[in-house]
Structure 1
Amino acid sequence: MSNKVIRLSEKDHIEPIELRSALQERYLAYALSTIMDRALPDVRDGLKPVHRRILHAMRLLKLNPDQAYAKCARIVGDVMGKFHPHGDSSIYDALVRLAQDFAVRYPLVDGQGNFGNIDGDNAAAMRYTEARMTEVATLLLDGINENAVDFRPTYNEEDEEPVVLPAAFPNLLANGSSGIAVGMATSIPPHNVAELCEAATFLIAHPDATNDDLVKFVKGPDFPTGGVLVEPADSISESYRTGRGVFRLRARWHKEEGSRGSYSIVVTEIPYQVQKSRLIEKTAELLLARRLPMLDDIRDESTKDIRIVLEPKTRTVDPELLMESIFKLTDFEVRVPLNLNVLTLGKIPNVLSLGQALQQWLDHRKGVLVRRSEFRLHEITRRLEILGGYLIAYLNLDEVIRIIREEDDPKKQLMTSFSLTENQAEAILNMRLRSLRKLEEVEIRKEFDTLKAEEAELDALLQSDIKQWKAIASEIAKVKKVFGPDSPLGRRRTSFEDAPDHDIKDIEQAMIEKEPVTIVISEKGWLRALKGHLSDYSGLTFKEDDRLKIAFPAMTTDKIIVMSTGGKFFTIAANALPGGRGHGEPIRILVDMDNDEDILTAFVHEEDRKLLLVSYHANGFIVSENDVLGTTRKGKQVMNVKQPDEAKLCLPVTGDHLAIVGENRKMLIFPLDQISEMTRGKGVRLQRYKDGGVSDAITFDLSEGLTWRDAAERNFTRGAAELVEWFGTRGSAGRMVPKGFPRSGKFSG
């Protein structure tokens, strides 16, 4: 093939354009198209274009609730060919969702065949399924033949489609909606129509009503799959006020008693838009991973109704604590977002409050009422004109017959002879002979008077804003009867409860399998957790030039507190420590300990225990163990020390006195109440030295005496009377240690 160079002349109208401006223009067009024609629903009827076109096409196909079903393939073909120039799969998916009673609170499509299920299985192909409209859908379309809404040309301008549906109920909030546009999204959970109708009626009577007033009627979403809302009322109210928020939704469960004191938990309703099969699969995975130690088994016994059975590990397991742990880790509890971002006037995206959304629907209903009334008024006027002509024809029946039989232009002659309008003359000429027997003055007068009265009512309605709102309230009351709380469709499915007040620590511990472990820490700061409680540490192995520093028993549910020489406390979950294989991990991988700091001590956390912290320069204070717990890797700075000083001792406080020994082998004893209790700081001076610092300290009960152990593992105890010469006040120098005190300067030998 030869390369050809094609030159473009000026007549080809090639216009240079900057790439930046071209991209901006085209991306803006795409964004507007996505926002207006695909992702965001209209506040007036709560529908996106694809759903609106599906219902319109079904109306044209006369697929009313009392008619036969039609193949979904035919419906999709009509929608795609006439109104929605997109793929058939996207149209069918939208049609299927409108028929799923677990996805839509008030289904708009009555499906026959396999339309999917709550397990997440897909619907059958459109050639196998059939559909027609539901009674709910007819309410959305009510009045569309009476000029209630505007129509616009379709994409190929061969037909017309409605811009919006009349929407006899607030479908936006009733069925909800979700979608992702460009730069914005919407997420509206479904609500109860009866409650929405009550709120709308109240809003008509009280135009200045606040969202707090409306929340008395609309207490929260009402999901098709039921469930339990545990979101606080104040949070729900705030979400409706701002149009943004989140709702905590839980599965509904109850306890079923078994034999010999055993029990099982049965879940009968799962959260909205959660696939049952995936939920059970994920829970089973957590069970195998030993993340749910209180749960023994999960099985699905569902048929038409949901029944998921959870078996506890033992009969002593608290069922509420078990469910709290499951709620925390699985989709048995979900957070349903609220983002009331919708199109107002069909083209302006806005985030609305509950009151604004209801008010804009009411304004739409008022416009529909006015247009339908004007349409009916126009029909009445035409009918009255025809009836007037019939009445004249009845009074002059013989002459009318003669004119029709003999005159060449009977229409013109009738108009001339009886002063008839063209419509009246045409109606008389089009009348069948069999109708002559019905042409009685009484019947004509009766219909005429009835229509006159209706005409007067419509005129009065169109002239009065109060009467219009009264008529709308009456229409809403009729809709409320259809969706009454006693009806299967209108009954509220989602209930409200307060979440059980369980301590978060209890829940966290419930999610950890309780097993005995031995915590081992080496001199160089390597940590590990060995299974079981070891009585002999001589068999432990360490890296070269490393050895045992601390080892103590614990449980996997315990919190391990580590104190550094820099006065920082770090909290590490025992189950988060590396296992016994190998030498463990350096502490600096688990927490952010400075390189110039070392591990001073480590121990199992005990609630409400007091600790005595002492620095090398004998500054110290008492702190509650609850105040040293940290939640981050950075730890918690509790004792303030500056080089060359450093944290030296961390002791549990027992008894009423402190005995402290310096490196100069002088000992001082004084009451613990002389030491300040603080949450953080440097502390107070405990003992005074000329040189050196603290060697050791111990707290004890004076009535039981002071005990120490020498290098030969012998215990020595001195009573209060024998310790008198070492008594003093805090900050004193003290006296030389008693005879027999260990040469190491430590109370433990």
Structure 2
Amino acid sequence: MTDTIDTPEQEPAALSEPLRRALGERYLQYALSTIMHRALPDARDGLKPVHRRILYAMRELRLSSTGGFRKSAKISGDVMGNYHPHGDAAIYDAMARLAQEFNVRYPLVDGQGNFGNIDGDNPAAARYTEARLTAAAEALMEGLAENAVDFRPNYDGTLEEPIVLPASFPNLLANGSSGIAVGMATNIPPHNIGELVDACLLMVDRPDASDEDLVALVPGPDFPTGGVIVEPRENILEAYRTGRGAFRLRAKWEVEDLGRGTWQIVVTEIPYQVQKSKLIEKLAELIQTKKIPILADVRDESAEDIRLILEPRSRSVDPEMLMGMVFRNSDLEIRFSLNMNVLIDGRTPKVCSLREVLRAFLDHRREVLVRRSQHRLEKIDHRLEVLEGYIIAFLNLDRVIEIIRTEDEPKPVMMAEFSLTDVQAEAILNMRLRSLRRLEEMELRRERDELTAERADLEILLASEAVQWARIADQLRETAEKFGRTAPGGARRSRFAEAAQVEDVPLEAMIEREPITVVCSKMGWVRAMKGHIPLDQELKFKDGDEGRFIFHAETTDKIVIFGTNGRFYTILGANLPGGRGMGEPLRLMVDLPNDADIVGIFAHRAGARLIVASSDGDGFLVAADEILAQTRGGKQVLNVKDGVRAKVCRAVAGDHVAVVGDNRKVLVFPLDELPEMARGKGVRLQKYKDGGLSDLTTFTLSAGLAWKDPAGRTRTEPDVSEWLGKRATAGRMAPRGFPRDNRFT
């Protein structure tokens, strides 16, 4: 007996390749798949694969525009199971968009039920809604049964789907498209079919028509939600010439007279793809934050049509100025980008001009016409062959009946005796008895004559390119009658206008000037009391909080806040919260970090100068006009390092500076020893062995140095020669009676 040793099976050799090449190849495959099969539309029918499959599946379900509706769940299920192996939610979303009149200029799906609205509400679930095709969708698929386009196997090879639809009208431009691929994107606005047909007819007559000629017929987009296009004509022409550009689109509005000198703005059309609910939220936010002080209120009175009401704060407001500010600050004016990046012949992505897109559509229409004509020609030839056999049978009817009754195999006998083809003999044998009438022969001869004449016309059509273009022009005119300007919903909705030049008015000029008293607590809660109340009036604060800053100002003043991080922040006096409550935290109005405290808060005075200093004793002069911030983030003026904080900000009044340190030493030096800067660390004010700067003030030397004692009385040291010295020296101990907190105020 021999021992056997089991040998393990030989493992296949591992294939190795550089990671860079492996990633490159796989990423390229993904990119090409996204570009060609998901994100970019075909220039010929203007559809992406998902939309094309939805329409074809609905056609296979026989959901014609005049027939009944089917559940959307059934439609999306068929699309997913037969043609598009992706999520049913994505398919339903794509189908729902094709049914939304506010999203698609010429809807391709006729929806029944809740398919969403312009407020931004989502459609109901697919099990609740129903759909069928529209006449426009049927026009896109006209000729599918006549070999108009090529078909390919579906994803599992059990069915076939069209590669592209025949497309009776330029759907790419009529309904627009948008998508984001890998490394490229597309964004095409909707247009008016009547204008597109006019441009196509011009290109049929004059293939070399210029971009200017085409833009004269297609002056711009035609959005389903209307609106007013205010883009200059030369910019529109350049966009259509290059395939890239943008269109400024505004809401349509009018002034409604309410009598007695009062009025309101009524908005009846909003820009394309702007959700009405979010638009109203933004307008309400502008009113609340007082970014548009002359706008008092906004409300939505929309029913079937859009009706937004904007109320001015005063009847004296200029409506043009009000709307100019609203346009600048909200989505009542948008810029719709144009990027005509499409697939040419279904394969090559290219940014096309208006002329190139129309040329791709017309060339496709000619190919469809030729293929349909050839298909019809083949059908006519087959029918004529059958008709000739029928006529022979009628002329020899008795003999044909005798052969059929007596012969076991009548077909070859008939073919031999009457010189019939296989097709003719088979057709005679399949003929019904009821067709054996004398009148039928006359009908057959008439049908043969008509088909012969039609065949002659088709041969002329296929032989002449000029005849083909004439037929295409006739088809385009028929399309224009169905969907053009005179058809229901075919008139242009977006109109053109020049953007009115509204002068920029300072925000302060729109605010009613009123006195206020600004109060800021120790914990940073700020409020504006109406009127100029006494600065020593007792006020209420939150538990554990107390007053810190209080001063008089006006609603038109810019209130400046200086933080320990060396940044200045700006708030308009009119935007401060009212004084009825405890106010609001200042950190909600400006981006003051949590680790930064408030050094000072005051009303800005144009032309004034300030002195700022850090706890290290460095400082400089800065013009008040240089510290105003334009954003919530503030403006950095005093540069401070880690562990150093901004300490003092004082308005300059006098010719000398007095500085006191934590060590109670006071130094007085001339103001002109300090530089004036817009930003920086500054220069050394006083020298310290330990501790740092406590406080500083500016004063006139001849008037003496003044400070407040703990009882609130003002004391003055008329002769400060003992403390007078050079900047950056140590100074001498403070005068007798100087406050223990080492502060001048």
Flag whether TM exceeds 0.5 (same fold): yes
Aligned counterpart, 1:210: 210
Q: 1:386 to 1:76 in 2, by over 3 A?
A: same
**Rounded Cα–Cα distance in structure 1 between residues aligned with 2:230 and 2:111:** 33
Is the aligned partner of 1:509 residue 2:507? yes
**Rounded Cα–Cα distance in structure 2 between residues aligned with 1:511 and 1:164:** 60
Report Cα offsets for 1:679-736 as digits up to 9, x if no partner: xxxxxxxxxxxxxxxxxxxxxxxxxxxxxxxx99xxxxxxxxxxxxxxxxxxxxxxxx
Alignment of 1:637-716 (within 5 A): none
**Equivalent position SS for 1:219:** coil
**Equivalent position SS for 1:490:** coil
Alignment of 1:171-186 (within 5 A): 171-186=171-186
How far apart are 1:597 and its partner, in Å? Answer: 7.7
How far apart are 1:501 and its partner, in Å? Answer: 1.7
Report Cα offsets for 1:95-123 as digits up to 9, x if no partner: 10000101110000001111111111111
How far apart are 1:573 and its partner, in Å? Answer: 8.8
How far apart are 1:248 and its partner, in Å? Answer: 0.7
Is the aligned partner of 1:449 residue 2:466? no
**Rounded Cα–Cα distance in structure 2 between residues aligned with 1:97 and 1:329:** 29
Report Cα offsets for 1:535-586 as digits up to 9, x if no partner: 99999xxxxxxxxxxx9998748999xxxxxxxxxxx998499989862499
TM-score, with length taken from structure 1 = 0.71
Aligned length: 572
Structure 2 counterpart of 1:474, one-letter code: D
Q: 1:156 to 1:583 in 2, by over 3 A?
A: same
Is the aligned partner of 1:349 residue 2:349? yes
Structure 2 counterpart of 1:144, one-letter code: L
Return the match for 1:583 from 600, 614, 620.
600
Aligned counterpart, 1:143: 143
How far apart are 1:16 and its partner, in Å? Answer: 2.0
**Rounded Cα–Cα distance in structure 1 between residues aligned with 2:239 and 2:469:** 28
Q: 1:51 to 1:585 in 2, by over 3 A?
A: farther
How far apart are 1:509 and its partner, in Å? Answer: 3.3
Aligned counterpart, 2:164: 164
Alignment of 1:122-137 (within 5 A): 122-137=122-137
Contact 1:252 1:270 in 2 (8 A): yes
Structure 1 counterpart of 2:312, one-letter code: P
Contact 2:222 2:494 in 1 (8 A): yes
Contact 2:627 2:635 in 1 (8 A): no
Q: 1:353 to 1:177 in 2, by over 3 A?
A: same
Aligned counterpart, 1:460: 460
- The worse-fitting range, judged by mean Cα deviation, of 20-29 and 373-382 is 20-29
Alignment of 1:215-254 (within 5 A): 215-254=215-254
Output the aligned Cα RMSD: 3.6
**Equivalent position SS for 1:12:** coil
Structure 1 runs not aligned, ≥5 long: 1-6, 521-527, 540-550, 561-571, 606-631, 636-710, 713-749
**Rounded Cα–Cα distance in structure 2 between residues aligned with 1:28 and 1:261:** 66
Structure 2 runs not aligned, ≥5 long: 1-6, 519-525, 538-550, 561-568, 577-585, 587-597, 613-617, 629-633, 638-701, 704-745
Q: 1:401 to 1:250 in 2, by over 3 A?
A: same
**Equivalent position SS for 1:298:** strand
**Rounded Cα–Cα distance in structure 2 between residues aligned with 1:519 and 1:28:** 66
**Rounded Cα–Cα distance in structure 1 between residues aligned with 2:420 and 2:238:** 66
Q: 1:576 to 1:193 in 2, by over 3 A?
A: farther
The runs of at least 4 aligned residues of structure 1 exceeding 3 Å deviation read 7-11, 438-441, 508-520, 528-539, 551-560, 572-582, 584-587, 595-605, 632-635
Is the aligned partner of 1:316 residue 2:292? no
**Rounded Cα–Cα distance in structure 2 between residues aligned with 1:31 and 1:146:** 34
Aligned counterpart, 1:273: 273
How far apart are 1:282 and its partner, in Å? Answer: 1.2
**Rounded Cα–Cα distance in structure 1 between residues aligned with 2:528 and 2:101:** 53
Alignment of 1:295-310 (within 5 A): 295-310=295-310
Q: 1:251 to 1:601 in 2, by over 3 A?
A: closer
**Equivalent position SS for 1:583:** strand
**Equivalent position SS for 2:11:** helix
Structure 2 counterpart of 1:224, one-letter code: P
Aligned counterpart, 1:477: 477
TM-score, with length taken from structure 2 = 0.71
Contact 1:517 1:530 in 2 (8 A): no
Structure 1 counterpart of 2:465, one-letter code: D
Structure 2 counterpart of 1:349, one-letter code: P
**Rounded Cα–Cα distance in structure 2 between residues aligned with 1:633 and 1:576:** 18
**Equivalent position SS for 1:373:** helix
How far apart are 1:129 and its partner, in Å? Answer: 0.7
Alignment of 1:501-580 (within 5 A): 501-503=501-503, 505-506=504-505, 509=507, 513-515=511-513, 556=556, 575=572
Structure 1 counterpart of 2:213, one-letter code: D
Q: 1:382 to 1:330 in 2, by over 3 A?
A: same
Contact 1:341 1:352 in 2 (8 A): yes
**Equivalent position SS for 1:258:** strand
Q: 1:11 to 1:479 in 2, by over 3 A?
A: same
**Equivalent position SS for 2:178:** strand
**Rounded Cα–Cα distance in structure 1 between residues aligned with 2:69 and 2:94:** 18
Aligned counterpart, 1:647: none
**Rounded Cα–Cα distance in structure 1 between residues aligned with 2:239 and 2:328:** 23
Aligned counterpart, 1:373: 373
Report Cα offsets for 1:474-504 as digits up to 9, x if no partner: 100000011231333211111111111212x
**Rounded Cα–Cα distance in structure 1 between residues aligned with 2:388 and 2:22:** 65
Aligned counterpart, 1:488: 488
How far apart are 1:227 and its partner, in Å? Answer: 0.7
Contact 1:555 1:574 in 2 (8 A): no
Structure 2 counterpart of 1:502, one-letter code: V
How far apart are 1:67 and its partner, in Å? Answer: 1.1
**Equivalent position SS for 2:436:** helix
**Equivalent position SS for 2:110:** strand
**Rounded Cα–Cα distance in structure 1 between residues aligned with 2:436 and 2:421:** 20
**Rounded Cα–Cα distance in structure 2 between residues aligned with 1:604 and 1:497:** 41
**Equivalent position SS for 1:247:** strand
